[in-house]
Amino acid sequence: MSREAASGERRPAQDPLTSLSEGIDPQAARRALADVSVRTPTLACAELARELGSPVALKAECLQATGSFKLRGALSKVAALGDRAAQGLVTASAGNHARAVAYAARVAGVGCEVFMPLDVPVSKLAAVRALGARVQLAGASVDDALELAAERALQTGAALVHPFDDPQVIAGQGTLALELLEDVPGLARVIVPIGGGGLASGVGIALRRMGADVQLVGVQAQACAPLARALAREGAIGVAGATGAEESTGATIADGIAVKRPGGLTLALLGELLNGIETVSEAEIADAMVFLAERAKLVAEGAGAAAVAALRSGRLAPVAGTSVAIVSGGNVDSALLAGLLLRHEAEEGRRVRVFTRVPDRPGGLAELLELVARTRANLVSVEHVREALPLHVRETGIELTLQTRGREHTQELLAALEHAGYDVGPR
């Protein structure tokens, strides 16, 4: 029997976070990052503030040196390794963490080997190779690649740099919160995208250590939300935005947070740190990416836009203070972003395809295009279509892709074409 039990005294219950976060020191990590990482700007966003009903700012980690917050954790880990880093680094990632570790390895002058999933975006693969890392494409997911990386570390003696489930990596990510506390007066809530949970854990620990009364809300993609479901099953936290139809782990455009399983350390930490967790649909993520590009002039990948998607969903209530959405990364495939922007133009009625018929004679197409020009629509492309259509022998089909000012302008264009005798109905 202990002395406390024998005497009837009770020791105060220890905060579980105290033992869980032992060895995680964002202040120390900040010193390790000072000469390499970028202190990214926090930008007020009036349009999001109007939508939410309270002030909103964006922490632009998409402007970090490697295009994402991951550099913070990588630099922190390499600094903590000290001389051990000389044996080389090995890691696994779908892109951002790989790029960050490769960058940190180059700064430290040590070797780096990266395992990446087979379907990794080409742009992220090229960026990692450009930093001098040896890349091994293997596995269907980050989890598969991570298993292979761990095996390679054991074989070679290289130091494994885990993407999220590592105290020094978490400490590095927490440096972001220290900047927020200095840069955002009235900070009331931080909204963080969650994959493995390293960023959210680091931010939460830093806020708690500084005694800040700030809510921490995590965001996952509905198509891949294992941490949200794990916390919900444990009754640790409510999960908003998830439906039974999206219980399975699937593909998502937010590949940077598509992690099958949260880390053991991060799951335990976030059970103590999170005030809420939101899941967002693929359409909401895509719309947030377009919003950031068009309205905030920030290029964000799917994972990077997840926090903004949660804000724009209407499922988060306003708070008495400023909400900050972390735009965690901007390493998006250019073809994907271009496709989303074009789709958005079409949905907004600013991009339209028109099919009609013109006389198959000299000047027939010119007359059509002259009419289009008078309506002030912008011609993107024009194509003659002669096959597989019920055309008169002296007709040719014409398909136009046009940019307009919106739905009303599009209707004016179609009305002008019909008034001139052009059939603009379906094929």
What pLDDT, in 10s, does the model give residues 265-318? 999 999 999 999 999 999 999 999 999 999 999 999 999 999 999 999 999 999
Q: Which of 208-217, 278-287, 342-351 has the lowest mean pLDDT?
A: 342-351
CATH code for the domain in which residue 259 is found: 3.40.50.1100
Amino acid making up residue 274: L
In a domain, 2, yes or no: no
Predicted local confidence at residue 104, as pLDDT: 96
pTM (whole model) above 0.95 = no
Domain count, the chain: 3
Residues 291 and 208 in one domain: yes
Contact 36, 83 (CB under 8 A): no
Domain containing residue 359: CATH number: 3.30.70.260
Residue that terminates a domain, selected from 343, 361, 394: 343
Lowest mean pLDDT among 100-114, 115-129, 272-286, 315-329: 115-129
**Separation of CA 99 from chain center:** 15
pLDDT over 80 at 248, yes or no: no
Q: Which residues pair with 277 in a beta bridge?
A: 218, 239
For range 93-114, the mean pLDDT: 95
Residues 330 and 286 in one domain: yes
Which of 43-47, 88-92, 219-223, 349-353 has the weakest average pLDDT? 349-353
Q: Is residue 284 part of a domain?
A: yes
Q: Round to whole Å and give the CA distance between 327 and 42.
A: 10
In a domain, 85, yes or no: yes
In a domain, 7, yes or no: no
Is residue 3 one of the residues assigned to a domain? no
Domain boundary among 317, 343, 369: 343
Check whether residue 110 and residue 153 sit in a common domain: yes
Residue 4 pLDDT greater than 60, yes or no: no
Do 173 and 251 fall within a single domain?
A: yes
**How does residue 246 score in pLDDT terms, banded at 50, 70 and 90?**
very low
Q: Classify strands 215-221 and 187-193 as parallel, antiparallel or unpaired.
A: parallel
Q: Note whether residue 338 is domain-resident.
A: yes
Average pLDDT over residues 169-173: 97
Kindly state whether residues 309 and 393 are assigned to the same domain.
no
Res 76 pLDDT > 80: yes
Alpha carbon distance 339, 352 (integer Å) = 15
Same domain, 51 and 171: yes
Give the 3-state secondary structure of the chain.
CCHHHHHCCCCCCCCHHHHHCCCCCHHHHHHHHCCCCCCCCEEECHHHHHHHCCCEEEEEHHHCCCCECHHHHHHHHHHHHHHHHHHCEEEECCCHHHHHHHHHHHHHCCCEEEEECCCCCHHHHHHHHHCCCEEEECCCCHHHHHHHHHHHHHHHCCEECCCCCCHHHHHHHHHHHHHHHHHCCCEEEEEEECCCCHHHHHHHHHHHHCCCCCEEEEEEECCECHHHHHHHHCCCCCEECCCHHHCCCCCCCCHHHCCCCCCHHHHHHHHHHCCEEEEECHHHHHHHHHHHHHHHCCCCCHHHHHHHHHHHCCCCCCCCCEEEEEECECCCCHHHHHHHHHHHHHHCCCEEEEEEEEECCCCHHHHHHHHHHHCCCEEEEEEEECCCCCCCCCEEEEEEEEECCCHHHHHHHHHHHHHCCCCCCCC
| One-letter amino acid of 275 | N
pLDDT confidence of 60, banded at 50, 70, 90? very high
Mean per-residue pLDDT, 379-384: 86
Q: Is the pLDDT at 176 greater than 60, yes or no?
A: yes
Same domain assignment for residues 292 and 375: no
Residues ≥6 apart with Cβ < 8 Å to 52: 311, 316, 318, 323
Mean pLDDT of 103-107: 96
Band the pLDDT of 388: cuts 50, 70, 90.
low
Answer yes or no: do 339 and 367 share one domain.
no
Last residue within a domain, chosen from 343, 363, 381: 343
Mean predicted confidence (pLDDT) in 99-125: 92
Same domain, 352 and 261: no
Tell whether 10 is covered by a domain. Answer: no
Q: Which residues of 223-246 are buried (b: 16+ CB within 10 A; e: fewer)?
A: bbbbbbbbbbeeebbebbbbeeeb
Mean pLDDT of 400-422: 89
Q: Which two tokens stand for residue 316?
A: 């988060």
Query: Do 215 and 79 share a domain, yes or no?
Result: no
The rounded distance, in Å, linking the Cα atoms of 66 and 367 is 51
* Residue 5 lies inside a defined structural domain of this protein: no
Give mean pLDDT, residues 351-369.
Answer: 86
Q: Which domain holds residue 128?
A: 70-160
Same domain for 43 and 63, yes or no, is yes
- Per residue in 8-48, pLDDT (tens digit) is 555 455 577 888 888 899 999 999 998 899 999 999 999 99
Q: 183 and 84: one domain? A: no
Q: How high does pLDDT run on average in the chain?
A: 88
